[in-house]
Amino acid sequence: MATIRESILAALHARLSALPATALRGEVLPERVPTEGLLILRDGEPGEPEVTLSPLRYHYQHRTEIEAVVQGSDRDVAFDTLTASIGTAIAADRTLGGLCDWVEAEAPRPVDLPVEGAASLKATVIPVVLHYSTADPLG
């Protein structure tokens, strides 16, 4: 049986997989970026939890990241469309089916990356904060 943390990350990945862009989890950047864009979900860091004692609960603000990459001549529009679709997907269900208390993305900080012999990339890392509680820090 999957832990709460893994269930939440899998649900977030499933939500990203429903988008037109290719969604990977924990993978390295492939040599080619698909036309519709690429998303890579990084598991991130759960951080130090707040603890309540009665009943014992660990409350996390888990910081994960979504790497978003587009390539091509119309990359500015493609990038804007891709990042907006991520926001829409997250806003559609901020509890990921009741698995967590709240999911919130932070604003992207895009960068243009030149590629020798090909169209440059436009990329960003979108921090996503997952708020959830568990009875066991390993569970």
**What is the CATH number for 123?**
3.30.2000.10
Q: Give residue 130's domain range.
A: 4-134
Cβ distance 66 to 42 under 8 Å?
Answer: yes
In a domain, 139, yes or no: no
Helix ranges, the chain (H): 4-17, 75-92
How large a percentage of the chain has pLDDT more than 70?
100
pTM of the model: 0.94
Percent of the chain at pLDDT above 90? 83
CB 57 within 8 A of CB 51: yes
Structure tokens at 32: 């080619």
pLDDT tens digits, residue range 64-115? 999 999 998 889 999 999 999 999 999 999 999 999 999 999 999 999 888 8
Q: Which residue has the tokens 């991520």?
A: 86
Asked if residue 116 has pLDDT above 90, the reply is no
Calculate mean pLDDT across residues 20-36.
93
Residue 34: its pLDDT value, please? Answer: 92
Number of domains present in the structure of the chain? 1
The answer to the question of residue 42 being in a domain is: yes
For residue 11, being part of any structural domain is answered with yes
